[in-house]
């Protein structure tokens, strides 16, 4: 499915400043300032100066928090965002992050692996609860383009705790919803390689031993059935 850009100039703006360039600038700025996050409930708070504020917004990490402080802007990062910045981009520091996040979010290792899999491919990943999925993925900034994928993280680990897509009626309802908002359903099936991993799921480094299989799920379109094709199409089928 082609990108659905928002406005005539949106694609040109995106090509002029790729998401990978914006993220790299944010990473360099956070490393230079030795940024440290503060655990707060089921999220992480991070202070940002003026330049970093613009980079956070353009890179689509976190959400700005309204405060009375004039010279400092705070950003609220979800658990997947904070752990990605800490362990993959290595540009922020958070103490005892893995144990804390695992205790706050059911199935956090699986959700994080799905998030990081897409982010490392320069997709912008945002929460997808409004569509009944785990995430939605954008080709560039959401101000420029509509999200293309509705993403569900699936795993056989610990009985597949998300509990979705177990029966065909779940697939049918999810596909109908995705179709109504012009999104493609992307199921990321995540499994652990026990031959390489020591089996201790409590360690953040064991995430490297999880593999991701991408599966695009689409509805069958009866209009494309061979039995419904025209006479001319049938003759073409016979001759081919």
Query: Active-site residue 183, yes or no?
Result: yes
Catalytic residue, chosen from 24, 146, 189, 209, is 146
Return the CATH number at 105: 3.40.1350.10
> Which range among 85-94, 110-119, 157-166, 209-218 shows the weakest confidence by mean pLDDT?
157-166
Radius of gyration of the chain (CA): 21
**Which range marks the domain in which residue 148 is found?**
9-219
Average pLDDT over residues 83-95: 92
In a domain, 233, yes or no: no
Mean model confidence pLDDT for the chain: 84
Catalytic residue, chosen from 138, 140, 141, 149, is 138
Residue 173, pLDDT above cutoff 60: yes
* Structure confidence by residue, pLDDT tens digits, 104-129: 887 888 999 999 999 999 999 999 99
Q: What is the pTM of this model?
A: 0.77
* Torsion, Cα of 209, 210, 211, 214 (10° steps): -160
In a domain, 189, yes or no: yes
HSE toward the beta carbon, residue 149, CA cutoff 13 A: 23
In a domain, 1, yes or no: no
In a domain, 160, yes or no: yes
Catalytic residue, chosen from 115, 131, 183, 210, is 183
Residue 239: per-residue pLDDT: 47
Residue 159, pLDDT above cutoff 70: no
* Structure confidence by residue, pLDDT tens digits, 46-87: 999 989 999 999 999 999 998 877 778 999 999 999 999 999
Domain count for the chain, please give it. Answer: 1
In a domain, 138, yes or no: yes
In a domain, 14, yes or no: yes
In a domain, 230, yes or no: no
In a domain, 239, yes or no: no
Query: Active-site residue 146, yes or no?
Result: yes
């Amino acid at each position: 499915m082609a990108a659905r850009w928002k406005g005539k100039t949106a694609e040109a703006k995106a090509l002029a400043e790729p998401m990978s360039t914006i993220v790299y600038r944010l990473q360099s700025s956070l490393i230079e300032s030795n940024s440290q996050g503060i655990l707060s409930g089921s999220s992480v708070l991070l202070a940002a100066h003026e330049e970093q504020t613009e980079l956070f917004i353009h890179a689509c990490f976190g959400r700005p928090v309204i405060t009375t402080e004039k010279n400092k802007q705070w950003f609220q990062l979800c658990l997947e965002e904070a752990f990605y910045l800490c362990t993959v981009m290595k540009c922020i520091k958070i103490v005892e992050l893995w144990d804390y996040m695992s205790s706050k979010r059911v199935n956090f290792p699986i959700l994080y692996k799905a998030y990081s899999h897409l982010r490392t491919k320069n997709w912008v990943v945002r929460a997808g609860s409004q569509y009944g999925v785990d995430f939605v993925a954008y080709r560039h900034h959401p101000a420029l383009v509509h999200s293309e994928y509705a993403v569900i993280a699936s795993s056989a680990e610990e009985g597949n705790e998300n509990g979705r897509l177990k029966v065909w009626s779940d697939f049918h309802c999810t596909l109908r919803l995705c179709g109504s908002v012009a999104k493609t359903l992307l199921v990321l099936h995540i499994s652990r390689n026990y031959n390489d991993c020591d089996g201790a799921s409590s360690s953040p480094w064991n995430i490297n031993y999880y593999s991701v299989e991408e599966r695009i799920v689409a509805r069958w379109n009866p209009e494309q059935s061979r039995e419904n094709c025209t006479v001319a199409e049938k003759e073409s089928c016979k001759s081919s």
